[in-house]
Structure 1
Amino acid sequence: MPFTCSTHTYPEPFYLLLEFVSGGSLQSRLRTSRTQQTYGNLHGGSKSLSSRDLTKFAWDVAKGMSFLSSKKILHRDLATRNVLVSADRTCKVSDFGLSREGDEYERTTKTRLPVRWMAPESLFHRKYTTKSDVWAFGVLLWEIVTLGATPYPGMSKREVMDGVQQGYRMDKPIHCDGKLYTLMLNCWDADPARRPEFRQIERTMDTLMEDEQDYINLASLDENTYTSLQTVTDEKY
C-alpha cells in the first residue's frame, strides 16, 4: 500500500532513517573501559573514563528521561544496554520496544522482563508509571558507578524478586559518593509517590555537574566485588 503524506503519495518500499551513534551501548562502553586482561581486573580504575565522564552519562540520561516523562512516555526498559553513546560521549536513551504512552500501563501479556531493573509494583502488580522508570534509573546509576556490572551481583533473578519484595536494596559501592547513593535510594523507595520526578533528578544532576568534585573514585574500585557481567539474554527473566 502506498504511503500518502500531505499532497504526495510515495510507493513502497519505505525507509526509516536513524541517527548513527558510533559509540555503541553505554553498557559496552562502561565494560570496555575497564583495565586490561579480564573484566575482573579493575586495579587502577578505568583506562579511558573519568569520574566526570560517568557523572555526565547519568546527567544525559536524566535529561532524556525528563523529556520522555514530560511527553507521558513510559520507557519500561531503561538500562545501560539501552542507552547509546555518541562520538562526543553524549548518552542517548534508545530501544523503545517496550515503551507505552500514557500515565500508567498495566501489563497483560507474558514477555521476557528486565527483572533486575524493575520496580516492585511492576514485578508484582504489573503496573508501570514514570516512577517505575525512576526506579530503573537508580539501577542504571548503580551500573554506571560499577562500570557496567550486572545489578544484584551474586543473586539469581528469583532471589532479586524476593529481596526487592522484602525491602532489600543494593549496598553503596565503597568508591561511590554518598550523594549519588542517596539518589539511588530515593529512586528505590518502595512507595512510587515518594520517588523523585525526573525533573528533580535532572536538577540534582545539574548541581553535581556544576561542582568540581569527583563523585566516583575509580582508583578505589574493588576488583573483586563487581565482576558479574551477564549477557543481555541472561539479564532478562
Structure 2
Amino acid sequence: MHPPPTFGSSPNLEALALQANRYHPEDGDSTANPISQPFCPMHEITFSTVDKPKLLNQLTSLLAEVGLNIQEAHVFSTADGFSLDVFVVDGWPYEETEELKIALQKEILKSKEQCSNQSPIPAVTVSEHIKEQIVSLPGCIEIPSDGTDVWEIDTRQLKIENKVGSGSNSDLYRGTYCSQEVAIKILKSELVTTEMLREFSQEVFIMRKIRHKNVVQFIGACTRPPKLCIVTEFMARGSIYDYIHKQKGVFKLPSLLKVAIDVSKGMNYLHQNNIIHRDLKTANLLMDENEVVKVADFGVARVQSQSGVMTAETGTYRWMAPEVIEHKPYDHKADVFSFGIALWELLTGELPYAYLTPLQAAVSVVQKGLRPTIPKHTHPRLAELLERCWQQDPAQRPNFSEIIDILQQIAREVADEGGDGRKGKSPGSFFSAIMRGHH
C-alpha cells in the first residue's frame, strides 16, 4: 500500500495524517482496521527540475500522454528556483518501472522540443498590465495628468553595475541612481508570468507607502519594458543569513539584542500599517553600513484584509507558522512565529531544523509541535520570549510592541551587567551600541 504524501495540496494536514494512519496503524491502536481498506497499488513519480511557469500543466499533460491516471499531485518550490513535483498515480501489482522511465524520458524530450518552438510573453503588454494592477489597488496614489508616476524611475539616471545575487524570478544588482548607491532588483523578462506581475505590482504598492528606518527604503520602480525593476537603498553589509551561515559570524548577546530590536521596530511599523510580511527570515533582514538592520523583500507581503484573517501558503517552510503551513486563516501573528525562529537562529548560529528537509520540518512543526531546542545557557528572559513567539496558538504569541519592550529591558540588564552577564566586562562586539540611536 502506498498512502498519499502527508503534505501538499490538502488544506488539512491532520486529515491526511489520519488517512495515512488507517493504512499504518500505530502499535496497540485497535481502532484502525487496515483490512477494511481495498487494496489499490499506486506508484509515486517525482520530477526534480528548474521551476518555470506552467510546469505543473506540462507535467500533467506529459503523464496523461503516457496513459497514467493521476490520483494526486503535490508541488514544492524552493526559494532558489527549483521545483519538486510529486504525482501519485494508479499503479500495477509489480514494481517494474524501467519501461515507464523510458516512456517518460521520450515524452519529456518531445515536450522540450514543443516548448522551444513557443515564443515568450510579449514585453510590450507588461507595462500596461502592471500599471493597471497598481492603479486598481485600494489607497493607491493618483497618477499625474501627464501620465508619469512619482515613483517611476528615470532610466537615464539609473546605472547598473555588478550582480550581487540571483533568485528564481529576478536578479539583484548594485548600482547608482542620481549618484546615490542603490540595489536594483530586475525581473527576468523571459520568465514573466501573470503571477509574477501581480507580485511585482503588490511589492511596488506596499513599498512606496512605507517609510521607517528599520525597513529597506523604496526609491522607485521601472514599469516600462524591457527592464522591470524595483530600486531600493543599497544595504552594504548584506543579509543576516549570509553573515551567520556564509561568513560564520557569531552574535554575542548585546549584538543579538540590537539586531532583534531593529527587526521588531520595523515589523511593528508594518503591522501598525496592516502589512503582513509573510516571509520573515534572516535572508530578508539586511544590514547597512551603519550596522542598522532593516526588513526587506516584500514580494509576498500583503495588506491585511478588513476581516483581519488571510489564507494561503506562502513563505519559507523552516520559518513558517503552523497555521500558514496548514492553509488555515492567519493574521499578523504568523510573522511573530517567524521572528521567533529567526531570533533562535541569531542565538545559535544554526539553520532551524538543519537535520530535516524543509518539508519534513513543516510536517513536524504542525503534527508534532516541533520547535528548535533552546541552548541551556540562554538568558532566561530571552528563552521565555522565544517560547511565547512560537506558541502553536497565535493568540498566545506577543505582538511586536510588547516584544520591543521585552528586548529593550533585557538589553538594559545586559548592559548593566557588562555585556554577557558578568559585571564590569565590556561587550567587545562590533555592535557595541545596543540602544544608542535605536529608540
Superposition TM-score, scaled by structure 1 size:
0.75
Q: Is the 8 A contact 1:74 1:99 kept in 2?
A: yes
For 1:204, the equivalent position in structure 2 comes to 406
For 1:233, the equivalent position in structure 2 comes to none
**Secondary structure at 1:122's aligned position in 2?**
helix
2:241 paired with 1:27: yes
Identical positions, percent: 31
Q: Distance in 2 between matches of 1:145 and 1:19?
A: 28
For the pair shown, which has the larger CA radius of gyration, 1 or 2?
2
**Secondary structure at 2:233's aligned position in 1?**
coil
Counterparts of 1:11-22 in structure 2, within 5 Å, are: 14-15=152-153, 16=220, 17-22=231-236
Q: Distance in 2 between matches of 1:87 and 1:51?
A: 21
Counterparts of 1:84-163 in structure 2, within 5 Å, are: 84-102=286-304, 103-107=308-312, 113-147=315-349, 149-163=350-364
Q: Is the 8 A contact 1:187 1:196 kept in 2?
A: yes
Counterpart of 2:361, as a letter, is V
Q: Distance in 2 between matches of 1:83 and 1:200?
A: 20
Q: Distance in 2 between matches of 1:75 and 1:183?
A: 20
Q: Report how many aligned residue pairs link the two structures.
A: 200
**Secondary structure at 1:84's aligned position in 2?**
strand
Per-residue deviation, 1:32: 4.8
CA offsets 1:72-97 (integer angstroms, 9 cap, x no match): 10100000100110111110000011
For 1:40, the equivalent position in structure 2 comes to none
Q: Is the 8 A contact 1:73 1:101 kept in 2?
A: yes
- Structure (1 or 2) with the greater strand fraction: 2
Counterpart of 1:105, as a letter, is M
* Structural RMSD (CA): 2.7
For 2:18, the equivalent position in structure 1 comes to none
Counterpart of 1:106, as a letter, is T
Q: Distance in 2 between matches of 1:24 and 1:216?
A: 29
Per-residue deviation, 1:195: 0.6
Q: Is the 8 A contact 1:180 1:215 kept in 2?
A: no
Q: Distance in 2 between matches of 1:138 and 1:119?
A: 10
Change (3 A) 1:187 1:156: same
Q: Distance in 1 between matches of 2:269 and 2:152?
A: 28
CA offsets 1:140-167 (integer angstroms, 9 cap, x no match): 10111122x2101212223312321222
Per-residue deviation, 1:33: 4.9
2:386 paired with 1:184: yes
**Secondary structure at 1:140's aligned position in 2?**
helix
Per-residue deviation, 1:118: 1.0
Q: Distance in 1 between matches of 2:374 and 2:281?
A: 19
Q: Distance in 1 between matches of 2:403 and 2:310?
A: 22
Change (3 A) 1:215 1:134: farther
Per-residue deviation, 1:5: 4.3
Greater Cα shift, 121-130 or 195-204: 121-130
The runs of 5 or more residues in structure 2 that have no matched partner are 1-126, 132-141, 154-219, 221-230, 423-439
**Secondary structure at 1:125's aligned position in 2?**
coil
For 2:365, the equivalent position in structure 1 comes to 164
Change (3 A) 1:141 1:216: farther
Superposition TM-score, scaled by structure 2 size:
0.42
Counterpart of 1:153, as a letter, is A
Change (3 A) 1:63 1:216: farther
For 1:80, the equivalent position in structure 2 comes to 282
Change (3 A) 1:106 1:143: same
**Secondary structure at 2:232's aligned position in 1?**
coil
2:148 paired with 1:10: yes
**Secondary structure at 2:294's aligned position in 1?**
strand
Counterpart of 2:148, as a letter, is Y
**Secondary structure at 2:405's aligned position in 1?**
helix
